[in-house]
């Protein structure tokens, strides 16, 4: 997929690109959620990324979790599809995207999360009442919806 995006960028430069993504909200046995600190901007998000050409969204979500955190997810369920102006993002290199993110939830996984790859600086499980403060902008609507559904909406956690 990186070659596909690189090819598209060679044609359009930094102009807006629609990007289809898949993300995963992984819960541990204590109801905490797995988040990672991105290496490109130092902000926190759920594991996820771009869907490769011809890849199923479920496969992409599971692949991204494995690539970014080193854990294998078990059964997953659809959490929601997020799109619109709040999913607009400009990366530190100037690339502009409008993300359509298909987000799944998973309550079963194997392995221990690690954050030692080029995309991830740090990983950890967080209680919904103690999420990291610097949430990646396209992750904010997902966090807001998660907090709303769990009955713990705190606006300061998603700004």
Predicted pLDDT of residue 117? 84
Longest distance between any two alpha carbons in the chain, whole Å: 47
Residue 156 has pLDDT above 50, yes or no: no
pLDDT, tens digit (0-9, with 9 covering 90-100), for 36-70 = 999 989 999 999 999 999 999 999 999 999 999 99
Predicted pLDDT of residue 82? 98
**What proportions of the chain, in percent to the nearest 5, are helix, strand and coil?**
30, 35, 35
Beta bridge partners of 101: 21, 82
Residue 159 has pLDDT above 80, yes or no: no
Question: Is the distance from CB of 56 to CB of 137 less than 8 angstroms?
Answer: no
Predicted pLDDT of residue 1? 54
Stretch 10-30: mean pLDDT, rounded?
Answer: 96
* Nearest-angstrom CA–CA distance, 70 and 96: 28
* Nearest-angstrom CA–CA distance, 19 and 96: 10
Predicted pLDDT of residue 4? 86
Topology (CATH level 3) of domain 2-157: Nucleoside Triphosphate Pyrophosphohydrolase (3.90.79)
Question: Is the distance from CB of 104 to CB of 65 less than 8 angstroms?
Answer: no
Predicted pLDDT of residue 77? 97
Domain ranges within the chain, ordered by starting residue: 2-157
pLDDT, tens digit (0-9, with 9 covering 90-100), for 140-151 = 999 999 999 998
Question: Is the distance from CB of 142 to CB of 148 less than 8 angstroms?
Answer: no
Average pLDDT, rounded, for the chain: 92
């Amino acid at each position: 997929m990186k070659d596909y995006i690189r090819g598209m960028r060679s044609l359009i430069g930094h102009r807006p690109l629609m990007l289809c993504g898949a993300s995963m909200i992984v819960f541990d046995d204590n109801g905490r959620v797995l988040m990672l600190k991105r290496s490109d901007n130092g902000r926190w998000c759920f594991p996820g990324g771009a869907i490769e050409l011809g890849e199923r969204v479920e496969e992409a979500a599971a692949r991204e979790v494995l690539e970014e955190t080193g854990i294998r997810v078990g059964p997953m369920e659809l959490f929601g599809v997020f799109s619109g102006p709040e999913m607009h993002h400009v990366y530190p290199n100037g690339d502009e995207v409008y993300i359509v993110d298909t987000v799944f939830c998973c309550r079963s996984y194997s392995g221990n999360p690690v954050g030692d790859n080029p995309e991830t600086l740090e990983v950890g499980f967080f209680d919904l009442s103690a999420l990291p403060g610097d949430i990646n902008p396209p992750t904010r609507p997902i966090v807001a919806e998660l907090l709303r559904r769990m009955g713990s909406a705190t606006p300061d956690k998603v700004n």
